[in-house]
């Protein structure tokens, strides 16, 4: 028996997302285009990147039912992510995405079987 199950993991994720949203709200919209270097993501791209990372778990485990990363086309996933990150969005759209996608992610995680939530082998295979 684990004292820390999918429900607790989801609550921890909600706490982190709440803090991320607070930071996103504290940054003035005119700073969302700021880049630390010309090769780095802008503030808005970083925030959208966070949204997209949470979707990867869902794609991997729920849609693909994969138990391994073998054979995953990371290049395609990264290219699609980069396109989405660069799509123009307002600050409010990004904050809304962080909120809705983060809550959807947490709701999905809290319903997972413990074995899947903590990366233990399951009977599902690719």
Q: List domains and CATH numbers for the chain.
A: 6-117 (1.20.120)
**If pLDDT is split at 50, 70 and 90, which confidence band does 38 have?**
very high
Lowest-confidence segment of 41-55, 57-71, 81-95 by average pLDDT = 57-71
- Taking all residues of the chain, what is their mean pLDDT, rounded to a whole number? 87
- Given a contact cutoff of 8 angstroms between Cβ atoms, the answer to whether 52 and 85 are in contact is yes
Rounded CA separation 48/30 (Å):
16
Distances (CA, A) of 64 to 34, 112, 124: 36, 15, 10
Two tokens, residue 7: 């429900």
Average pLDDT over residues 90-114: 92
Task: Report whether pLDDT(116) > 70.
Answer: no
Task: Report whether pLDDT(51) > 90.
Answer: yes
**If pLDDT is split at 50, 70 and 90, which confidence band does 91 have?**
very high
Task: Report whether pLDDT(123) > 80.
Answer: no
């Amino acid at each position: 028996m684990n004292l820390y199950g999918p429900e607790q993991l989801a609550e921890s994720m909600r706490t982190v997302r709440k803090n991320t949203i607070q930071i996103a709200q504290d940054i003035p919209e005119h700073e969302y285009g700021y880049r630390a270097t010309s090769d780095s993501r802008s503030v808005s791209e970083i925030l959208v990147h966070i949204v997209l990372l949470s979707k990867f778990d869902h794609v991997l485990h729920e849609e693909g039912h994969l138990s391994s990363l073998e054979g995953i086309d990371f290049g395609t996933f990264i290219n699609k992510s980069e396109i989405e990150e660069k799509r123009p969005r307002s600050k409010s759209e990004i904050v809304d995405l962080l909120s809705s996608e983060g809550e959807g992610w947490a709701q999905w995680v809290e319903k997972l079987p413990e074995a899947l939530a903590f990366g233990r082998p399951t009977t599902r295979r690719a």
